[in-house]
Amino acid sequence: MITTNTPADAEWEPHAQRLADELAAAGKFTDPRLAEAVRAVPRHAFVPTYHQQTPDGSWAQRTSVDDLAAVYSNTVLITSLARTATGGTTVLSSSTQPGLMTRMIEALNLADGARVLEVGTGTGYNAALLAHRLGDEQVCSVDVEADLVELARQRLAELGYHPTLGVGDGAAGLPEHAPFDAIIATCAVPAIPWAWIEQVRPGGVILTDLKPAPGAGSLVRLTRTAEDRAEGRFDPTYAAFMDLRHTAGDNPAGFQVERDHGQAEHRTTSLDPNTPWTSLLVWFLASFDLGPGISYGYTLPESGAVPVRSDTAPTACWMATPDGSWAEIALASDNGQHEVAEGGLRRLWQLVENAHDTWTELGQPGWNRFGLTVTREMHTVWFDHPDGKRAWHIASH
C-alpha cells in the first residue's frame, strides 16, 4: 500500500514503532487502533523537509531522511515560514506533535463509522491517521492553503489514502459534506465558528484550541446539544496551535506602539514579569480585559522589542494594545520588586495583576476547572459549573 522513493524508506518502520510505543507509555492514547495508525503511517513522507531554528535565531532547512529519529520523535516540525509586516519571521505551517494529535483523536471518543471533519489539513499526516483509523469515506479535511492541500492529496494518495480534501476558509467548515460526528481543528480560533456547531450532529463533538487573544487559551472539547448550543470543558493539559487563517498566505500584520518612558507612570510590582507565559491561565483570564488585539514580547538591550522566542538575554517584557496602551516590566528585581512603566489609556500590567489575584482567589486551579458554553450570541467561560458565580464573556463571531 505504501510507495516511497528514498533510501531511508526501509528504515522508517522501526522509528514509527518506537514512536508508537513511546506515545502509549506517555499516555497519549490507549486505543490500539491508534497505535496501529502511528506504526503504519510514515511521517517522513508528509514532511520531506522542515525548518529548525538555530542558536542565533535564524532558520535552517533540514531533510527528513537525514535524521529519521528526529522526524519520528514527539515534536513539532516547522514546514513553512513567512515574513511578517514588521520584518520578523512567523511560522505559516507545521506538523503537530504526534502525541498531541493522538491525544486529540482519542478525546473525540470516535466509534467505528464516525464521520470526522478536520480543520487544518497542513501536511496531511493527521488526515492519514484519521483515515487509517476510520476509513477514507469517513474523513474530510479542509485548509485555506491550496498548495498545501494539493501536496497533502498527492502524498496521501501515494500511500493509498483518499479522504475528502477541500480548499477554503476552515471557519466555514465543509457544509456540503455535513453532518459530522466530530470536528477536530488543529488551529486556534478566537471564538467557535457557528458553522462548526451547525455541522455537527446533536451529541457531536468539537475539539479546538480557543484563544480569545494571542497565547490566551487552550484546547476545549464541546458537545452540541439539541438546543443549538455547545458546552464542555477545557483539556487538563495546555496546548497551542497557530491561528486559523481566513485567506491563503495571511500573516499577522503586527503593530508597534511608541513606548515613551518620559510620559509613562512608573511604579513597582512583586508579580514575576514572566507570569503571562509561566502561568498561562492568568494570561487567559487577563485577556478578557486586555482584549483580542494584544501584542507582547521581550526587550533586548541592543535592538529593542523582538518576539518572545529570541534567545538573546532580554532586559524586560512588554505588552501593548491597539488603543496605544503599553506596559514594560523589568526582569531584574530589587528585593523582589520589578520596575513597571505604563502608558496610554489603560494600565495593562495592572490588568494582569488583577487576573493573577483572581486566579489565586480561586485556588490556582488548572484548565479542567474551566468550561465553555457557546450560543449563537455569546461565548461564556465558566469556573467549575455552567451555572456558577464566576463567568467571563466573549462575543460570538
Do 22 and 153 have their domain in common? Answer: yes
Do 228 and 183 have their domain in common? Answer: yes
Task: Grade residue 24 by pLDDT with cuts at 50, 70 and 90.
Answer: very high
Which set of grid coordinates corresponds to residue 258? 511608541
Do 20 and 60 have their domain in common? Answer: yes
Do 63 and 108 have their domain in common? Answer: yes
Do 45 and 104 have their domain in common? Answer: yes
At residue 90, the pLDDT reads 72
Residue 378 falls inside a structural domain: no
- CATH number of the domain where residue 222 is located: 3.40.50.150
Given a cut of 50, whether residue 358 has pLDDT beyond it is: yes
Do 292 and 194 have their domain in common? Answer: no
Do 77 and 177 have their domain in common? Answer: yes
The three state secondary structure string of the chain is CCCCCCHHHHHHHHHHHHHHHHHHHCCCCCCHHHHHHHHHCCHHHHCCEEEEECCCCCEEEEEHHHCHHHHCCCCCEEEEEEECCCCCEEEEEEECCHHHHHHHHHHCCCCCCCCEEEECCCCCHHHHHHHHHHCHHHEEEEECCHHHHHHHHHHHHHCCCCCEEEECCHHHCCHHHCCEEEEEEEEEECCCCHHHHHHEEEEEEEEEEEEEECCEEEEEEEEEECCCEEEEEECCCCCCCCECCCCCCCCCCCCCCCCCHHHCEEEEECCCCCHHHHCHHHHHHHHHHHCCCCEEEEEECCCEEECCCCCCCCCEEEEECCCCCEEEEECCCECCEEEEEEECCCCHHHHHHHHHHHHHHCCCCCHHHEEEEECCCEEEEEECCCCCCCEEEEECC
Given a cut of 60, whether residue 315 has pLDDT beyond it is: yes
Of 213, 234, 255, the one marking the end of a domain is 234
Domain containing 342 equals 265-300+314-361
Do 57 and 198 have their domain in common? Answer: yes
Mean of pLDDT over the chain? 90
Task: Work out the average pLDDT over 389-393.
Answer: 93
Cα 250 to the center of its chain, rounded Å: 16
Task: Work out the average pLDDT over 355-361.
Answer: 97
Do 188 and 74 have their domain in common? Answer: yes
At residue 1, the pLDDT reads 40
Given a cut of 70, whether residue 298 has pLDDT beyond it is: yes
Residue 282 falls inside a structural domain: yes
Do 84 and 167 have their domain in common? Answer: yes
Summarize pLDDT for 82-100 with one digit per residue, the tens. 776 556 677 777 899 999 9
Summarize pLDDT for 260-297 with one digit per residue, the tens. 888 899 999 999 999 888 899 999 999 999 998 898 88
Task: Work out the average pLDDT over 221-246.
Answer: 91
At residue 311, the pLDDT reads 55
Do 287 and 186 have their domain in common? Answer: no
Residue 381 falls inside a structural domain: no
At residue 26, the pLDDT reads 95
Domain count for the chain = 2
Task: Grade residue 6 by pLDDT with cuts at 50, 70 and 90.
Answer: very low
Given a cut of 50, whether residue 5 has pLDDT beyond it is: no
Task: Grade residue 2 by pLDDT with cuts at 50, 70 and 90.
Answer: very low
Of 183, 214, 234, the one marking the end of a domain is 234
Summarize pLDDT for 25-60 with one digit per residue, the tens. 999 999 999 999 999 999 999 999 999 888 877 888
Do 185 and 282 have their domain in common? Answer: no
Residue 353 falls inside a structural domain: yes
At residue 34, the pLDDT reads 95
Task: Work out the average pLDDT over 299-318.
Answer: 67
Summarize pLDDT for 108-152 with one digit per residue, the tens. 999 999 999 999 999 999 999 999 999 999 999 999 999 999 999
Residue 45 falls inside a structural domain: yes
At residue 210, the pLDDT reads 97
Radius of gyration from C-alpha coordinates of the chain:
22
Residue 281 falls inside a structural domain: yes
Task: Work out the average pLDDT over 170-195.
Answer: 96
Given a cut of 60, whether residue 351 has pLDDT beyond it is: yes
